[in-house]
Amino acid sequence: MKAKVRFSDINVRIGTIDILESVNLSVNEGEFVCIVGPSGCGKTTLLNIAGGFLQQTSGEATIDGVPVDGPDRRRVFVFQERGVFPWLTVEGNISFGLFDRSEEERRKRIDYYVQLVGLRGFENAYPRELSGGMKQRVEVARALAVNPDVLFLDEPFGALDSITRLQMRGELLRIWQTERKTVLFVTHDIEESIQLADRVVVLSARPARILTEVAIDIPHPRDLSSRRYLELRDKIFSEIGLAHRV
Amino acid sequence: MLPLIVIAVLLVAWHIAVILRPGLIPGPLKVARAIVELAERGLLVKYVVASLFRVTWGYLGALTVALPLGIFLGTTLPADLAVNPILQVLRPISPLAWIPIAILWFGVGDVSAIFLIFIASLLPLLLAIVNALRNIDQVQLRASRNFGLPIRQRVVRVLLPAILPQLIVAMRIALGVAWLVVVAAEMIAVNSGLGFLIVDARNAGDRYDLVIAGMFLIGVIGVVLDLLMRRLERLDSVRWGYASE
């Protein structure tokens, strides 16, 4: 397996505050990695470094062995649903990154991804006419349409209700299995990470270090009441010092 | 329906008031006759067109300058910080205070009036554009950077549409101000237009019926202009920017 994204000894200090402390992480091509940790710990910072939106204080972030310098269409961010452009229709949003493709190519891709994310019939709808889950699908389709190698998802389902969130996880897995992109997925929801990822990376509170990495060796579709699932979940909970009780 | 009733009641009240206190102002019938008279003398169309002509050029000129300048200032923080104090000092100066300078530079005539309208519309447009650009959602700016759009495309496909709802509001306000200012400018700098009509009617023989006719026309045209601008707010690509949804 080839390392797609690699963080080597990444430190980030903003002002006098240490955000990330010697983070070493390597993500393989086609791998689905979830980064979990307490709110505000620096998960998003790590993603922003790989995405080229933020410069680390020291250390190196590489993609395909090349140091990251600035955002790039080959690795696309999926934000929470408010990243969709409200002045563009579903089609307009999905084709946003396709400005330099031929009209024919653009049509083909719009058509394919509208179908893939299940928005057939809504091509000409504006985001304000869509539900939160549908807007999130638009974002995912917009990201996939430019055929990136890497997807960065920053708590993409955080603003959705719990039923939609479950559905969207299913959709994302289905899409990931079709497209086999390398995925870095930031969430503070441990259950979510175990449902989705090949590997869960657990960060500590700030300054964030990697506490542990847990490989999730359960085949998809995952049975959320299986013993292995519960074991892994409790392992991660105890790792971050939470007894799994309310 | 209700507004029509209120208008009717006010017209009747006006009519009665004038009968009770002659010399207060001319009554509604007299004003209506004055408008007909203006139409017959060919002045109605001529003056309305003259005023609209000046507003159009001054306003479009302001928009043409405000858009690129606003986008430059709104996306270049140091430039904005440098220029902002000047804009803030210019802002509270009534456009009418520029009248002497307009006459000094452009003499008495259309250009002076157009210049005053330009000055009056420029600041509200410029400040609104800068402000709207500052308030674009960071997530949207990042998304546009992520997809690697060349700078020109980014302006056309992200910055402009993102500020459009606020820009349209500013355009409405600026057009309202322009319409206020053209009347004042025409009272001093030119000899046609609705503003000129009002001063001229008073100077040339106390024709207060024509004065009120002029005021009435100014009001009606102002409303029509605003209604036309409001139509822009219903465009599909800007409706997201207004709270009613």
- Say what the pLDDT of residue B117 is: 95
Inter-chain CB proximity B146 and A80 less than 8 Å: no
Which of A147, A167, A194 lies at the terminal end of a domain, its last residue? A147
CATH of the domain at A197: 3.40.50.300
Length of chain B: 245
DSSP-assigned states of every residue in A172-184: HHHHHHHH--EEE
Short-list A185, A191, A189, CA closest to A224 = A191
Same domain, yes or no: A138 and A155: no
- Say what the pLDDT of residue A188 is: 87
Chain B residue numbers with beta carbons less than 8 Å from the beta carbon of A53 are 142, 145
Same domain, yes or no: A95 and A187: no
Select from A51, A72, A85 the Cβ nearest to the Cβ of B148: A72
Q: Minimal Cα–Cα distance from A87 to chain B, Å?
A: 4
Residue B193 predicted with pLDDT over 50? yes
- CA torsion sign, A215 to A217 to A218 to A221? positive
Indicate the pairing of strand A3-14 with strand A58-63.
antiparallel
Question: Which residues have C-beta within 8 Å of that of residue A199, sequence separation ≥ 6?
Answer: A31, A32, A33, A34, A213, A214, A215, A216
CA–CA distance, B145 with B126 (Å, rounded to integer): 25
Chain B residue numbers with beta carbons less than 8 Å from the beta carbon of A83 are 139-140, 142-143
Same domain, yes or no: A52 and A168: yes
First-to-final CA distance of chain A: 40
Residues linked to residue A210 through DSSP beta bridges, in sequence order: A203
Domains identified in chain B and CATH numbers:
26-241 (1.10.3720.10)
In angstroms, what CA-CA distances link A14 with A10, A20, A188, B188?
A: 13, 10, 22, 59
Interface membership of B102 toward A (CB under 8 Å): no
- Say what the pLDDT of residue A215 is: 92
For the residues B195-220, what does the mean pLDDT come to? 91
Same domain, yes or no: A156 and A230: yes
pLDDT in tens, chain A (246 residues): 678 999 999 999 988 899 999 999 999 999 999 999 888 788 889 999 999 999 999 999 999 999 999 999 999 999 876 789 999 999 999 999 999 999 999 999 999 999 988 899 999 999 999 998 899 899 989 999 999 999 999 998 888 888 888 888 998 998 899 888 999 999 988 999 999 999 999 998 888 899 899 999 999 888 888 999 999 998 888 887 766 565
- Say what the pLDDT of residue B237 is: 86
- Say what the pLDDT of residue B244 is: 60
Q: Minimal Cα–Cα distance from B69 to chain A, Å?
A: 23
Inter-chain CB proximity A128 and B145 less than 8 Å: no
Same domain, yes or no: A112 and A170: no
Chain A residue numbers with beta carbons less than 8 Å from the beta carbon of B137 are 82
Residue B99 predicted with pLDDT over 70? yes
For the residues B75-93, what does the mean pLDDT come to? 92
Chain A residues interacting with chain B (CB cutoff of 8 angstroms)? 51, 53, 71-73, 76-77, 79-80, 82-83, 85-88, 96-97, 99, 126-128, 146
- Say what the pLDDT of residue A246 is: 58
DSSP structure class, residue A222: P
The tens digit of pLDDT for each residue in B40-66 reads: 999 999 999 999 999 999 999 999 999
Whole-model pTM?
0.85
The dihedral region occupied by B139, where left means phi > 0, alpha psi between -120 and 50, and beta the remainder, is: alpha
Interface membership of B235 toward A (CB under 8 Å): no
Residue B205 predicted with pLDDT over 80? no
Mean pLDDT of chain B: 92
Indicate the pairing of strand A17-28 with strand A32-36.
unpaired
Same domain, yes or no: A27 and A66: yes
Secondary structure in 3-state letters for chain B: CHHHHHHHHHHHHHHHHHHHCCCCCCCHHHHHHHHHHHHHCCHHHHHHHHHHHHHHHHHHHHHHHHHHHHHHHHHCHHHHHHHHHHHHHHCCCCHHHHHHHHHHHHCCCHHHHHHHHHHHHHHHHHHHHHHHHHCCCHHHHHHHHHCCCCHHHHHHHHHHHHHHHHHHHHHHHHHHHHHHHHHHHHHHCCCCCHHHHHHHHHHCCCCHHHHHHHHHHHHHHHHHHHHHHHHHCCCCCCHHHCCCC
- Say what the pLDDT of residue B164 is: 95
Inter-chain CB proximity B143 and A71 less than 8 Å: no
- Say what the pLDDT of residue A34 is: 96
Chain A residue numbers with beta carbons less than 8 Å from the beta carbon of B162 are 85, 87
Which of A119, A147, A175 lies at the terminal end of a domain, its last residue? A147
Same domain, yes or no: A54 and A170: yes
Same domain, yes or no: A131 and A229: no
- Say what the pLDDT of residue A241 is: 74
Q: Minimal Cα–Cα distance from A13 to chain B, Å?
A: 21
Interface membership of B84 toward A (CB under 8 Å): no
- Say what the pLDDT of residue A42 is: 86
For the residues B1-24, what does the mean pLDDT come to? 91
Residue A22 within any structural domain of the chain: yes
Q: Minimal Cα–Cα distance from B167 to chain A, Å?
A: 14
Same domain, yes or no: A69 and A118: no
Residue B245 predicted with pLDDT over 50? no
Q: Helix B110-134 and helix B43-75: axis angle, to 10°? A: 40
Q: Phi/psi at B201 (nearest 5 deg)?
A: -65, -35
Q: Minimal Cα–Cα distance from B238 to chain A, Å?
A: 6
Q: Phi/psi at A38 (nearest 5 deg)?
A: -60, 155
Q: Which residue range is the domain that position A118 belongs to?
A: 84-147
Chain A residue numbers with beta carbons less than 8 Å from the beta carbon of B245 are 128
Same domain, yes or no: A48 and A26: yes
Same domain, yes or no: A143 and A160: no
For the residues B81-99, what does the mean pLDDT come to? 92
Please state whether the peptide bond connecting residue B92 to the residue before it is cis, i.e. omega within 30 degrees of 0. no
Q: Minimal Cα–Cα distance from B243 to chain A, Å?
A: 11
Percent of chain B with pLDDT over 70: 99
Same domain, yes or no: A215 and A154: yes
Chain B residue numbers with beta carbons less than 8 Å from the beta carbon of A77 are 142-143, 146
Residue A79 within any structural domain of the chain: no
CA–CA distance, B175 with B101 (Å, rounded to integer): 22
Residue A108, classed as helix, strand or coil, is helix
> Number of folded domains in chain A?
2
CA–CA distance, B141 with B163 (Å, rounded to integer): 12
- Say what the pLDDT of residue A205 is: 86
Q: Phi/psi at B236 (nearest 5 deg)?
A: -60, -35
